[in-house]
Amino acid sequence: MKKILKVLIFLLAPSNIFGQLTPMTNQYVLNPIIINPSCAGARGTLNMATFYRNQWVGIDGSPKTMTLAVDAPLLNKKIGLGLIIVNDKIGVKKDNQFILNYAFNINLGESFLSMGLGAGITMTNVSWSDLVVLDPGDELYLVDSRVFIIPDFSFGLYYTNKNYFAGFSMPQFLTARFNSDKNGYTLANDPKQYNYLFNTGIELEFATNFKFFPSALFIYTPGEKLQYDINAHFGFRDLIRIGGSYRNNRSIAAMLQVQLNNQLRIACSYDFDVGKLRRYSAGSYEIMVRYLFSYKVDAINPVNF
């Protein structure tokens, strides 16, 4: 019983503080717009990707996230626009997030520098009626919370050339704390709650038709331990990629990507927990489908392909 209570407390603890970080995905290397608004339109064509992530399989009420990301270049690729829609559920808490991203691209000759801004809202509520309680007639759990609308903003920079990329972003500036006296969220711009993200990667060709793609993501929050995600993928003829990642003291992931044709790519991953949750969870899995609306892609950012 104590173990179950610990897991429940772990799942529900963040529910009174909102705005820490957009739900993470293993596929951010393929779709960096999820963590950096300046990547909108970076592929040089209309791009659409959808994800499904089931985290901590085997734990009742564990996070389940569905994401749709669409972006495209405009004005001869000088700017990019993007839309991200996220449906995230943890226990009885549900969030629906809508984000618009804008990116401005500067041509540096052999490379590009992009600057981006993001703005959006999150609609969040708690379905108390979904809880299994000892007293089904308890009025406290018969009525769901009202839907709260929380605004947010993000900022990003992105540099790329033929074989290398580096990005810096600050997603979700605003922090929202639940105020029980007002039965609502109070917004705050607290630098101590900012998340600073830096990611980088390179493409290396070590044999004919074979490529190696190492990359890394670092997340820093003041007062917290540095988080990092180290990735490595091997590719064959741009048709298939096999690789993995290590997230510090949390999980090891196996990943597979398959390019079905010039436009359609699918990817999947499975996380093996190596932290304290490994005793309760059977891991996490994720599926992604990406479609490019063009056969010939003049991409600003080929590294993330």
- Name the residue type at position 249: N
Give the pLDDT of residue 295.
56
Give the pLDDT of residue 146.
77
Give the pLDDT of residue 188.
78
Beta-carbon contacts of residue 116 (< 8 Å; ≥ 6 apart):
36, 37, 38, 39, 40, 80, 101, 102, 103, 104, 155, 156, 157, 158
How much is the pTM?
0.86
Q: Digits of tens for pLDDT over the chain (305 positions)?
A: 344 434 444 444 444 445 445 556 888 888 999 999 999 999 889 999 999 999 989 888 889 999 999 999 999 889 999 999 999 999 888 999 999 999 999 999 889 999 999 999 999 887 766 666 666 666 555 556 678 899 989 999 999 998 999 999 998 888 777 777 777 778 877 888 889 999 999 999 988 899 999 999 999 989 888 999 999 999 998 899 999 999 987 889 999 999 999 899 999 999 998 877 788 888 899 999 999 997 555 555 544 54
The per-type count for the chain, helices as H runs and strands as E runs, is 1, 18
Give pairs for 268-275: CB < 8 Å, separation 24+. 269/26, 269/27, 271/26, 271/55, 271/247, 273/56, 274/249, 274/250, 275/249, 275/250, 275/251
Q: Hey, what CATH topology would domain 2-304 get?
A: Porin (2.40.160)
Give the pLDDT of residue 256.
97
Give the pLDDT of residue 20.
47
Here the tokens at position 220 are 């820093």
Give the pLDDT of residue 176.
79
Torsion over CA of 36, 228, 86 and 182, rounded to 10 degrees?
-100
CA-nearest of 97, 95, 186 to 145 is: 95
Q: How many residues does the chain have?
A: 305
